[in-house]
Amino acid sequence: MSKNLVLKSVILSLILMNAVPVKADFQAGLAAYNAGDYATALKEWQPIAERGDANAEYNLGLLFARGQGVAQDYQKAAEWYQKAAEQGVAAAQYNLGVMYANGQGVGQNAREAANWFQKAAEQGITGAESSLAELYSEKEGPFQNFTEAEKWYRKAAEKGVASAAFDLGVMYDVGQGVQQDYMQAIEWYTKAANAGYAPALTNLGILAYNAQGMKRDLVQAYAWFALAQKQGDPRAGELLRTTAERMKPKEIKLAEARMNEWHPTGHPHAPEQEAALFKEPETTPAGTAPSSEKSDLEKDAAKTAPATPAVTAASAGAPPEQAKAGTPLQPINDVSASSRPPDVWTGVERIVAIGDVHGDYEQFIKVLQSAELIDASGNWIGGKAHLVQTGDIVDRGPDSRAIMDLLIRLEQQANAAGGAVHTLIGNHEAMDVYGDLRYVSAAEFSAFRPLNLKTDQQFAYDAQSNTVNTIVAEPARSASQAIPGVAEWTAAFGAEGVYGRWIRSHNAVVKIDRTLFVHAGLGQKYADWSLDRINDTVRQELRDFNQLHGGIATDEQGPLWFRGLAEGDESTYQPLVDQLLKHFDVDRIVIGHSDSNAAITPRFHGKVILIDVGLSRVYDNNGKIACLEIDNDHAYALHRGQGIDLPKDENGPDMLRYLRQAASLDPKPSPLEPRIRELEQTVHQ
C-alpha cells in the first residue's frame, strides 16, 4: 500500500550576522560544493561544524552519506546528522529518522525513527508525516499501529500530498486498520487523482468496474483506466483493454469525451521516483527565491508509480529555528525500513544456503529441519546462524503463500536470536510482482480466496495455457474458467501489495564474509557494479515497471537470469569468475536458478557452487533434500541432514565418491543414479 521511506537532503546556508568569517567559510564551502569540488567543501565546513554550526554539521552528514569528498561512511553521517538534528535542523531530523529506519550507520530502531520523523513533521516536513505513517503501517510486530498510520497519512493528505491520500484511500478500500468504506476510499482516491497521481486513477477505475461504492459504470472505468495509462501506471493498459471488450463503440466515445473533460487540479506534492542511493541534490543559492517553473521531477511526478512525497525544509539562509515548509528537495535515498536491508555481513560462523523451492512447503520444511534451523512447530532454533534462500520460492507448486508467511516469521525470530534470514529476489519473484503469471499454478489462487465470491467471478484463468488470461475479466470468456482468488492474488503480489512489498524489501545479491550469494549469477555487463547499485536498481525496477524494459531485472546478463556460471563452458567463463571474485573480494559464488541435478554441485574448481537441487516435487516427485552449509568458511553439502565434503574435482573420481555418498542417503532409487552411471563410464575409461 504505502511507499518507500525517502532519505532526502538539502544544502542549507546559515547566515550569522555577528560571525562574518564563519559565514564566509560556509559560503566558500557551498560554492565549492556547487562546483563539484566536494573535498574543498569538506575542508571549509568541517572546522565550523566542529565548533557547533548546525547547518555545517548537517552538510558534513550529507557528504559522508553520499561519499562526496570523503569515503562513504554511514556511521559518521549519522553522527553529524544527530548533532544537527539535536539543534533543530528539520532535514537532519528527517534523514536521521531514515537512517534509524534502515539501520544505516546506526542500529535499526523503529521507535527512534518514529521519534525523529515526528520532530521533523512538527517542523513542517511533509515527507516525514508520510514516512511516519508508513513506518506504523509496514513495521511488523508490536510497533505496527494502523491507527497511528491512518492519523499521519491523513495529516499529509490534508496538506495535499497525493501519495498519502492514495495510501489513505487504500486503507479504506481494503479495510486495513479501519472500517472498510468505499465512499471514503473514493474520496481520497479522487483527491490523489485530481493531483494527477496515476495509481489513484487506476483504483478509481477498478471500483467503477467492480461496482464498489458506486453503480457499475464501464464508461467511467474506461475513462479512469485510459487516463491512468497516459499517466504511466503499468496496471492500466490491460485493464483498459479488458474494459473496452465489454463496451460498444458509442460507449467508448462517451468515455473519451469524459477524459477530455477531466483536468487535474495540480501536480502531486512531489512524489519521488525511486532512485539509486544518493542522487544529486537540488540546491537554491542563498538569497535566491525558488523558481516558479516546475522542475523536471515535478513535471514527471504524475507519471511515476506510487512514491513517498518529497521533503520540504528550510529555505537557504534561514536559521533552523525559522525553518518552514516550502521548497521541494531532491531525494538522495528512497528506501523503506523494510526494503533496504544490509547486503554485506561479516563474522558469521554458520551459513545455510537453500536453492529454489518453487511452491513446495513440505519440502522446504524438511530441508530446514535437516539443517536444524527450525523445530517441529516451524520455529527458529538456528541461533546466530544465517539462512540464505537464493530465490524462486514462488510459482510452479501450490504453496508459495505458506512459504512466504513462514519466511516472514523466521526473519523476525532469527533476528531476535542474533541470526538472520536472507531471502533473495529470484526471477520468479520478480515475474509475479510485474505480472508475468505464466508459472503460477491454479492451486496458488485458492490460498487467496476471499469471502466475496462476486469478486472472484470478475477474474479468469485460462486452463489451456495455465495462465491468468487477464487482470480483470468476466467468466464468459471462452476457453477460460473462473478461479476464486485471482483478483486477490494479483493485488497481493503487485508492487504495492503485501507480498509484493515484502519481495521488494529484499536483496538480489548479498555478501557474507567470503561468499557471494545471488539467484542466477552475474554476466560481464554487471561485473563491476557495486552490491548497492545492483540491489537498489532491482528494487527500483520492481517498483516502477516503466523501467523494466532494458533493465537489470529482466536482463539475461542480470542477477535474476544469467546462466553462464551454471551452464556455460568453464574455459570461456573462467575470466569472468575470476573478475567477480576479485571485484567483490570473495572466495566463492553460490547460485540457484539452474538445476544442479539433485546434489549440491561445484564448478570452476569450487569457486562457483550450484545449490538448486530441484527441491520441489512438481518436477518429478522425487523429494530431494539438500542444501549448502558453510561453517567458519568451510563449505560442504548437507544431504538429507548428513554433511558431505564437496568433491575436489568436477568430473573425476572424487566427484564419483561424492555422488555415491549422497546417493546412499536417498530413498531407492536415488535420483543421482543416472548421473553416477554416466560418470562411472567416464572415470573407468
Task: Specify the higher pLDDT residue, 607 or 475.
Answer: 607
pLDDT at 393 over 90: yes
Give the whole-number percent of the chain exceeding pLDDT 90: 39
Residue type, 42: L
> CATH number for the 344-432+501-646 domain, one of 3.20.20.70, 3.60.21.10, 3.40.630.10, 3.40.50.720?
3.60.21.10
pLDDT at 421 over 90: yes
| The three cell numbers locating residue 64 | 559522508
pLDDT at 53 over 60: yes
0.85 exceeded by pTM: no
Could you tell me the pLDDT band of residue 295, with boundaries at 50, 70 and 90? very low
pLDDT tens column, 319-356: 222 222 222 222 223 333 334 678 999 999 999 999 99
pLDDT at 278: 22
pLDDT tens column, 24-44: 577 888 888 888 888 998 898
pLDDT at 5 over 60: no
pLDDT at 146: 85
Q: Which of 395-404, 553-562, 606-615 has the lowest mean pLDDT?
A: 395-404
Question: 102-106, 183-187, 384-388 — which one is most confidently predicted on average?
Answer: 384-388
Query: Residue 480 to residues 238, 460, 469: CA-CA distances in angstroms?
Result: 17, 6, 8
pLDDT at 265: 65
pLDDT at 309: 20
Task: Specify the higher pLDDT residue, 363 or 131.
Answer: 363
Dihedral sign for Cα atoms in the order 576, 579, 583, 589 = positive
Mean pLDDT of 556-563: 95
Residues 6+ apart with CB under 8 A from 120: 90, 91, 93, 94, 97, 128, 311
| The three cell numbers locating residue 538 | 532491482
pLDDT at 587: 96
pLDDT at 438: 80
pLDDT at 495: 85
pLDDT tens column, 626-652: 999 999 999 999 999 999 999 998 889
pLDDT at 123: 84
DSSP type of residue 321: G
CA–CA gap between residue 307 and residue 522 (Å, rounded): 29
CA–CA gap between residue 525 and residue 586 (Å, rounded): 19
**Average pLDDT over the chain, rounded to an integer:** 78
Mean pLDDT of 444-473: 40
| The three cell numbers locating residue 50 | 566542529
Largest CA-CA distance found in the chain, in angstroms, rounded: 91
Contact 214, 187 (CB under 8 A): no
Task: Specify the higher pLDDT residue, 42 or 127.
Answer: 42
Q: Which of 256-270, 375-389, 456-470, 478-492 has the lowest mean pLDDT?
A: 456-470
Mean pLDDT of 497-518: 94
pLDDT tens column, 424-443: 999 999 999 988 888 887 77
pLDDT at 541 over 90: yes
Could you tell me the pLDDT band of residue 685, with boundaries at 50, 70 and 90? low
CA–CA gap between residue 619 and residue 640 (Å, rounded): 19
Give the whole-number percent of the chain exceeding pLDDT 70: 78
pLDDT at 305 over 90: no
Task: Specify the higher pLDDT residue, 104 or 291.
Answer: 104
pLDDT at 398 over 90: no
pLDDT at 13: 30
pLDDT at 139: 63
Task: Specify the higher pLDDT residue, 338 or 558.
Answer: 558
> CATH number for the 6-196+264-285+296-334 domain, one of 3.40.50.1370, 2.60.40.1180, 2.60.120.280, 1.25.40.10?
1.25.40.10
Q: Which of 266-270, 276-280, 524-528 has the lowest mean pLDDT?
A: 276-280
Task: Specify the higher pLDDT residue, 310 or 152.
Answer: 152
pLDDT tens column, 206-234: 888 888 888 888 999 999 999 988 888 88
CA–CA gap between residue 113 and residue 138 (Å, rounded): 13
248: helix, coil or strand? coil
630: helix, coil or strand? strand
DSSP type of residue 104: S
Asked, colleague to colleague, whether 6-196+264-285+296-334 and 344-432+501-646 share their fold, the answer is: no
In terms of Cβ atoms closer than 10 Å to its own Cβ (0-12, 13-18, 19+), residue 304 is: buried
Domain-wise residue ranges, the chain: 6-196+264-285+296-334, 344-432+501-646, 436-492, 648-685
CA–CA gap between residue 372 and residue 379 (Å, rounded): 11
pLDDT at 23: 58
Residue with cell 513440505: 362
